[in-house]
Structure 1
Amino acid sequence: MSDAPNTAGQAAKYLIDAELDVERTRKTSLEARGLAVITGSGTLVTLLLAVAALAMGKDKQAVSGWPEWILALSVLLFVLAACFGIAVNAPSRYFRIDPASLSGLITREEWGEPGQDAERELTAARLAELSDARIRNEKKARRVLAAISCQVVGVLFAASVVFVLVLR
């Protein structure tokens, strides 16, 4: 017997299962990116502040004026980026098929019946799971994008202050 679907329902089941696998993989990838943003933000803040301290040296006064404000804004952006990264990894309840709801499908009476109704119900449940996963992953993707955007602007701001300090 071939694995190829021979009915519209089987084709839908096949597609839904494949898309659900994609969303599960996407969730893992987005969460990994969120963790990378957290780590990267901490490293960049440390590195840029160290460069600023070295650039000022012992003889120079502390940062003041607009470079001070831009540096503070840069640190704030890195903190925001880390917060978005944390939000991406915050536990959330994805819709999952409740195993207890499947117990009716494994009774002796059901086991001998043709499986079209059960297959249709299970496919509908996987479709609901897919819809929920896609919505939650879109939220995670927007948070990752916001985190990376904050990091980029933070790097530009911090680098501009370090550049000004080096030229002093």
Structure 2
Amino acid sequence: MTTAGDVIGEFISAQLDVVRARRASLEARGLAVITSSGALVTLQLALVTLLPQAPEAPHPAGRALIAASTVSFLAATIGGVFSNLPRKAFHVSPQSLLPHISPDFWDASEKEARKAITTIQLKVLISAERTTRVKARTVLISFCCEMAGISCLTAAVMLTLLRP
């Protein structure tokens, strides 16, 4: 017979799998931001090199926009790196399992063991969810910085090309 505790335990275990998959996805997205920002900075440098070197080119506002895009790409890259940094999280230590193999607990019912495991899994889930939220915010901010950099760079190109 399945008990409510069994159902809750399975649910917590499934949620833990979801959070771990989400964390891995966010870390991959953070790496993508680093890669794409690096490629965009390379294109930006090529653009700056190819622009005429006369004092009137690029447009003064374009120069400021190119500088702003550089800062934005740098911020996006830093955010991508930050999203992949290891975070302090609750992990099951072997020491914490010692009470569960004591003679008093060893002969306890299966129900007690499931309850103990579910409690530990819930602590891991709470910690993992907290760190995943931080990673999600960091990746979102990184994407926004990257979009700002692209916008600034595009505006700089347009100012330069459309300049009379």
**Normalization by structure 1: what TM-score?**
0.87
The answer on whether the counterparts of 2:27 and 2:84 sit within 8 Å (CA) in structure 1 is: yes
**Counterpart selection for 1:38 from 34, 59, 62:** 34
Give the 3-state SS of the residue equivalent to 2:92 in structure 1. coil
Give the 3-state SS of the residue equivalent to 1:94 in structure 2. coil
- Matches of 1:58 and 1:70 in 2, distance apart? 17
Q: Which residue of 2 aligns with 1:125?
A: 120
Q: Structure 2 stretches of 5 or more lacking a match?
A: none
Q: Which residue of 1 aligns with 2:87?
A: 92
The one-letter amino acid paired with 1:93 is: K
**Counterpart selection for 1:9 from 5, 13, 22:** 5
- Matches of 1:167 and 1:53 in 2, distance apart? 18
**Counterpart selection for 1:27 from 18, 23, 26:** 23
- Matches of 2:52 and 2:91 in 1, distance apart? 57
Q: Which residue of 1 aligns with 2:77?
A: 82
- Matches of 1:146 and 1:58 in 2, distance apart? 34
Runs of at least 4 residues off by over 3 Å: 57-64, 106-113
Say which is worse superposed, 24-33 or 98-107, in terms of deviation.
Answer: 98-107
Say which is worse superposed, 79-88 or 111-120, in terms of deviation.
Answer: 111-120
Q: CA deviation at 1:146?
A: 0.2
Q: Which residue of 2 aligns with 1:146?
A: 141
**Normalization by structure 2: what TM-score?**
0.89
Q: Which residue of 2 aligns with 1:106?
A: 101
The answer on whether the counterparts of 1:52 and 1:165 sit within 8 Å (CA) in structure 2 is: no
Give the 3-state SS of the residue equivalent to 1:31 in structure 2. helix
* Pairing of 1:155-166 with structure 2 (within 5 A): 155-166=150-161
Q: CA deviation at 1:13?
A: 0.3
Query: Which whole-Å deviations, capped at 9, do the CAs of 1:65-101 have from their partners, x for residues lacking one?
Result: 2111111111101100011111101111221111222
For these two proteins, the number of residue pairs brought into alignment is 163
**Counterpart selection for 1:57 from 52, 55, 65:** 52
Say which is worse superposed, 14-23 or 86-95, in terms of deviation.
Answer: 86-95
Q: CA deviation at 1:118?
A: 2.0
The one-letter amino acid paired with 1:71 is: I
Q: Structure 1 stretches of 5 or more lacking a match?
A: none
RMSD: 1.9
Q: Which residue of 1 aligns with 2:63?
A: 68
The one-letter amino acid paired with 1:21 is: D
The one-letter amino acid paired with 2:110 is: G
Q: Percent identity?
A: 36
